[in-house]
């Protein structure tokens, strides 16, 4: 079976995490506590989600040791005018000394200057790894050309309908871990191909889609606030998809 995490330049990132976009207040806190209780060890948030304080409280409430949880947050493009303050506020809200991964949420106007800023704050120990989100292959290449350092992760929209082999191969070749969000969008869970494969392997369509990410070495961060669904989404490490099944899902891209 596939290991449950992927190597980064520093540490490892769990292949399945909890996305928290649109989770606010008590819902965010209870979802994170439930996810950690189920077994998740990867929580994804962002400054713009406005739930970092609830996530920080949930980490404490869960009783899970900080070093066991891979924690990601993101800085908005406009935040680079005062990136240190933005990151300090995130760390304060999360009640941690450093995040495991800090991402540029969207490309700012000067991606190279922003990347240099992130590298400096990472080197001060405020983030263990840095990366980007919603960057094109050309933008990733520009960062590498300018600084000699690739982002550890590029978090992008990724689902069967978004499959792009060239983009996947580019990330792998550049040493960038691809991380997908919106895994279940564009009708993936009701697609006849996914439904047929789910029946054949005795799993839910959602589990098949998540396993498809894993087969491609794409980290995935499905969102849910329901404990039963959180548990089901995490239960994807004891089965595999055949090469033919993966190819059939790949072909759903349009």
Query: What is the full per-residue pLDDT of the chain (254 aa) written as tens digits?
Result: 678 999 999 899 999 999 999 999 999 999 999 999 999 999 999 999 999 999 999 999 999 999 999 999 999 999 999 999 999 999 999 999 999 999 999 999 999 999 999 999 999 999 999 999 999 999 999 999 999 999 999 999 999 999 999 999 999 999 999 999 999 988 899 999 999 999 999 999 999 999 999 999 999 999 999 999 999 999 999 999 999 999 999 999 97
Query: Is 61 part of any domain?
Result: yes
Query: Does residue 151 belong to any structural domain of this protein?
Result: yes
Beta strands in the chain (DSSP E): 5-7, 12-14, 18-19, 42-44, 70-75, 101-104, 130-133, 153-157, 177-181, 219-220
Q: Active-site residue among 40, 49, 135, 181?
A: 49
- In a domain? residue 202: no
Angle between helices 205-215 and 192-201 (to 10 degrees): 90
Q: Does residue 238 sit within a domain? A: no
Catalytic annotation present for 135: no
254 within domain boundaries: no
Instruction: Quote the CA–CA distance of 228 and 224 in Å, as a whole number.
Output: 9
Domain limits at 156? 5-184+213-224
Count up the domains in the chain and report the number. 1
- Nearby residues of 9 by Cβ (< 8 Å), 6 or more positions away: 129, 152
138 Cβ neighbours under 8 A, 6+ residues apart: none
């Amino acid at each position: 079976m596939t290991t449950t995490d992927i190597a980064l330049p520093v540490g490892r990132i769990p292949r399945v995490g909890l996305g928290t976009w649109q989770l606010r207040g008590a819902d965010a806190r209870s979802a994170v506590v439930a996810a950690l209780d189920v077994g998740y060890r990867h929580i994804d948030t962002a400054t713009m989600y406005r739930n970092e304080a609830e996530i920080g409280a949930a980490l404490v409430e869960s009783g899970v040791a900080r070093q066991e949880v891979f924690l990601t947050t993101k800085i908005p493009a406009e935040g680079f005018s005062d990136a240190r303050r933005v990151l300090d506020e995130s760390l304060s809200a999360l009640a941690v000394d450093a995040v495991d991964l800090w991402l540029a949420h969207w490309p700012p106007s000067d991606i190279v200057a922003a990347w240099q800023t992130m590298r400096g704050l990472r080197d001060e120990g405020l983030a263990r790894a840095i990366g980007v989100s919603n960057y094109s292959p050309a933008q990733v290449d520009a960062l590498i050309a300018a600084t000699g350092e690739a982002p550890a992760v590029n978090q992008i929209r990724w689902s069967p309908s978004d499959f792009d082999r060239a983009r996947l191969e580019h990330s792998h070749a550049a040493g960038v871990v691809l991380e997908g969000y919106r895994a279940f969008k564009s009708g993936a869970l009701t697609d006849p191909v996914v439904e047929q494969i789910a029946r054949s392997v005795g799993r839910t369509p959602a589990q098949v889609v998540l396993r498809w990410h894993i087969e491609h070495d794409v980290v995935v961060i499905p969102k849910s606030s329901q404990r039963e669904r959180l548990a089901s989404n995490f239960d994807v490490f004891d089965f595999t998809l055949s090469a033919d099944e993966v190819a059939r899902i790949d072909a759903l891209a349009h």
